[in-house]
Chain A
Amino acid sequence: MTVRWILSILSLSILASPLCAQMYQGRELVKAELLADTNAVVPGKPFTVGVLLRMQPHWHTYWKFSGDAGLPSEIKWELPPGWKAGEIQWPIPKKLLDPGDIQTYGYEDEVMLMQEITPPASLGDAPVKISAQASWLVCERLCIPGSANLSLTLARSTTSSPANAELFARWRKTLPQKPPNDLAVHTTRGPHELSIALKSPAIPKNASAAFYPLPDEKTVAGHPKTEWKKDELIIIVPFETNPPEELRGLVVFDNGTGWYIGSASAQIATPVSHAAVTRGLWTFLLFGFIGGFILNLMPCVLPVISLKIFGFIKHAGQDRQSIVRNGVAFVLGIFVWFVGLALLLIGLKSAGHQITWAAQFTNPYFVLLLSVIVLVFALDLFGVFEIVLPQALMHRMLHSGAREGEAGSFFQGVFATALATPCTAPFLGPALGFAFTQSPLIIMSIFLAIAAGMSAPYLALSIHPAWLRFLPKPGSWMDHVKQFMGFLLLATLLFLLYVLGAERGYEAMTWASCFLLVIALACWMKGRFITLMASRLTKSFVFLLMLALVIGGAFYFIGDKFRSAKIDIVQASGDWQMFTPDRLQTELDQDHAVFVDFTAAWCITCKFNEKSVLESASVRDAFTRHGVTKIKADWTNGDPAITKLLQQFGRPGVPLYVLYPGKSGEPFVFPELLTKNLVLEKLETITRSTIASQ
């Protein structure tokens, strides 16, 4: 505060002096100066003034959104009545990184904050004095607030000529440009992030870009990421609070240009993955609708469909009104069932809190359980056996379903969907996985879409019974569809087995497959021998045998063999070394540049990055050329040492790519989606700066 006092006194005593300095330990940290781009004030004619802040080397002041820490600089004007000051024109700032994943936006060395000043149309003849108080936070390793009272006296004239032309021209070049007119901005809003898609021929394709957000006070924004999807630049801004309705921010390209963009009225989306974000909610609702429609073609629903179709035929002669009423009641039944399911999911979700899949995938037993479920559903689809509801329940449903009237139709709707469960289960499985990551609103919307899809044909038929003749005839093609889906599930099973193999070695994968074979055998026994015709004795015998097989198999293959299977020591492939904390430390102690690839077998993004970037010829060459040690940290099994390091970088999981320039110097954290250019460029700059510092 004393500094400020001295400064105020200084600036008061030297009225004309526009120059002020902030002192720290005998050094001038910030020199502040007020300048105008004109030599005189012309009444009514706007001119520009600039507060030029010159910092000591490496010290920085902040942009209008300072990021994770810091504070924006402020300028408060004391202008004579009738004068107006415009908004501060902020030059494009730099993104500054500090340990602990702290990102701030600011200016190093110097910055000029310009503002337009408009004098009133009538002015006296005396010279005009305008004053402002500028305050800032200047930081390097530590932060010090500073402020200065600045003033400027300008002659009053009827004509003026430019002043400080070169300086103003230079700083005007650092301002963001007007975005191109054909820039299409499309924003989708998810529960935890906003995704902004930019499209314009003016954006150089695959240019590397960054986004500096301007969140309002109510929202806490995380670190935006950018990536290219075909010809669109996608910006993803995560939020710790609920994402705002709209967000402004600055897109900055590596050639130094920048555009302010605003994303008004974001639409609600289902952002699980970035792909999902850009797809948007409507696509999912459409898929839900189509999926629901297809459910009608499922063999399990067939008995109810024919029941209902007979109903339509029977009613065909009756008055339209009652047919429509029956149809609507039936549809209502379908909706009630799906709403119930959605509510169940929402309940489960809120009880279980944010279940993250990543952590579960590091648990081989979870993967094994998923494999069993997927296999059983596949066998069901192949017709090896059928998942049926208990006899008594089925009977009661059909019985009440046969009743006449709207109530009957309503229950038929509920039961049609209940009966369809064995066919819907393979759908609901993935939907469930998806739903756990979604907000209740979206879960409900998707289930409503499925219900709408399933009921669409009934509604149409009850309004236009004549359309009955367009119905496809039931036939063997329905079985073909079902069986084809079985193969898709088998493909999923292959992926799960691959994950198991990566986690526990091929031996464990073999034992797990043996257990799956036993499960398959048990399913076949159920389908083949536990039938309606079978005697009670046969049924009980087969059931006991199945139980023995499954339990025995579980004990032998899983409890014993799988658990004790030798885990292959994962050998680093190629020129990668396996991560251990000691190895990393040793390399750093020797002042080697080190690149660490945090990966896992079940992480698809990781595989993609490795294949398309890290293992590409140009990047491999660059690693060799710059003498960078490559370390692979394999998190497939949730290695605690790696978990710890991930947490130090503030990451919940993989992928993570870090480049350590050597013993000293901050590690650089790459975005989750790597590009060759980015890696090459960073290798270039980091190794260059290490050489320079030596």
Chain B
Amino acid sequence: MKMKSLLITLSSLIAASLFAADVPPVGSAAPDFSLKDTKGQTHSLGQYKGKYVVLEWFNPECPFVKKHYGSDNMQKLQKEAADKGVVWLTIDSSAEGKEGYLDADAANKIMTQWKTKQTALLLDPDGAAGKAYGAKNTPHMVIINPDGKIVYEGAIDSKASPNPADIPNSTNYVKVGLEEAMAGKAVSNPQTKPYGCSVKYKSM
């Protein structure tokens, strides 16, 4: 009977819907994490509820990261954000022994040398925070609104290249996203394909 196939279809649909989802999509609650920064202080996302938070995946050896720090582009963005009261958390998910892994001392040195302006640089050698966000690139950028929802994730800007000369001709999605979100508008490009090096996670 048709009725039976209808019921069977519907019940198999329920069964099938048991499998779904992937990385947290834009609009969903940002996964919480708790990581130590280079000064030994613990930061969790929960403690910044009520503020805009920018997450930036970082690897000092990666040419795409160097593109934005070597040109002072990232530092400028970090300063602008700080002036608006935005919390900026740089996260290094490189595992020990892999490219871009930093211990606290090495990280502090780089922060001084590169004159970085973030709120804190968090060390995530287990990759737990990186994987929770599905971060696969450095840089990978996430903007979280004061309610703890993700409003942007993806690339830092529109020009996928390691060449600093491309920066002036590209749209900086983080800058635009922050401006739009903080003006109460919807972010016009809420999700883009990030570009860069792969995050150097621990081999399981």
Contact pattern, B 121-161, Cβ under 8 Å of A = 1, otherwise 0: 00000011011101011000000000000000010000011
The answer, among B4, B63, B192, for a CB contact under 8 Å with A143, is B63
A404 close to B (CB within 8 Å): no
Q: Report the minimum CB–CB distance from B109 to chain A (whole Å).
A: 19
Q: How far, in whole Å, are A602 and B100 apart by their CA atoms in the complex? A: 42
Contacts of B201 in A (CB 8 A): 98-100, 102
Residue of A nearest to B3 (CB): A294
The answer, among A101, A276, A291, for a CB contact under 8 Å with B16, is A276
Q: Which of B22-30, B41-49, B75-83 touches A?
A: B22-30
Q: Which of B6-14, B110-118, B175-183 touches A?
A: B6-14
Contacts of A483 in B (CB 8 A): none
In the bound complex, do residue B28 and residue A354 qualify as a contact, i.e. CB atoms below 8 Å apart? yes
In the bound complex, do residue B160 and residue A100 qualify as a contact, i.e. CB atoms below 8 Å apart? no
In the bound complex, do residue B18 and residue A361 qualify as a contact, i.e. CB atoms below 8 Å apart? yes
Count residues of chain B with CB under 8 A from any CB of chain A.
Answer: 58
Residue of B nearest to A100 (CB): B201
The answer, among A356, A431, A433, A660, for a CB contact under 8 Å with B20, is A356
Q: Counting chain B CB atoms within 10 Å of each CB, which of A69, A145, A217 scores highest?
A: A69
Contacts of B4 in A (CB 8 A): 488
A553 close to B (CB within 8 Å): no
Q: Report the minimum CB–CB distance from B73 to chain A (whole Å).
A: 16
B32 close to A (CB within 8 Å): no
In the bound complex, do residue B136 and residue A102 qualify as a contact, i.e. CB atoms below 8 Å apart? yes
In the bound complex, do residue B3 and residue A430 qualify as a contact, i.e. CB atoms below 8 Å apart? no
Q: Counting chain A CB atoms within 10 Å of each CB, which of B20, B132, B199, B202 scores highest?
A: B20
In the bound complex, do residue B7 and residue A485 qualify as a contact, i.e. CB atoms below 8 Å apart? yes
A273 close to B (CB within 8 Å): yes
A348 close to B (CB within 8 Å): no
A142 close to B (CB within 8 Å): yes
- With A290-B6, A488-B4 known to touch, is A273 a contact of B134 (CB < 8 Å)? no
Q: How far, in whole Å, are A71 and B161 apart by their CA atoms in the complex? A: 7
Q: Which of A566-574, A648-656, A674-682, A686-694 touches B?
A: A648-656
- With A99-B203, A104-B198, A667-B204 known to touch, is A653 a contact of B19 (CB < 8 Å)? yes
- 8 Å CB contacts to B: which residues of A564-599? none
Contacts of A139 in B (CB 8 A): 197-198
- 8 Å CB contacts to B: which residues of A422-456? 427, 430-431, 433-434, 436-437
A259 close to B (CB within 8 Å): no
A141 close to B (CB within 8 Å): yes
The answer, among B17, B25, B195, for a CB contact under 8 Å with A71, is B195
B200 close to A (CB within 8 Å): yes
Q: How far, in whole Å, are A303 and B13 apart by their CA atoms in the complex? A: 33
Q: Counting chain A CB atoms within 10 Å of each CB, which of B15, B98, B162, B199 scores highest?
A: B15
A contact set with B: CB distance below 8 Å: 68-71, 98-102, 104, 137, 139, 141-145, 215, 217, 219-220, 222, 238, 240-241, 272-276, 283-284, 287, 290-291, 294, 353-354, 356-358, 361, 427, 430-431, 433-434, 436-437, 481, 485, 488, 492, 602-605, 647-650, 652-653, 655, 658, 660, 664-667, 672
Query: A100-B136, A143-B198, A238-B22 given. 4 additional CB < 8 A pairs?
Result: A69-B198, A273-B16, A427-B10, A485-B7
24 A–B contact pairs at CB < 8 A? Answer: A71-B195, A99-B127, A101-B131, A101-B136, A102-B199, A137-B63, A137-B162, A139-B198, A145-B162, A145-B163, A220-B191, A240-B22, A241-B191, A294-B6, A353-B28, A354-B28, A430-B14, A431-B10, A434-B10, A488-B8, A488-B11, A602-B18, A648-B131, A652-B21
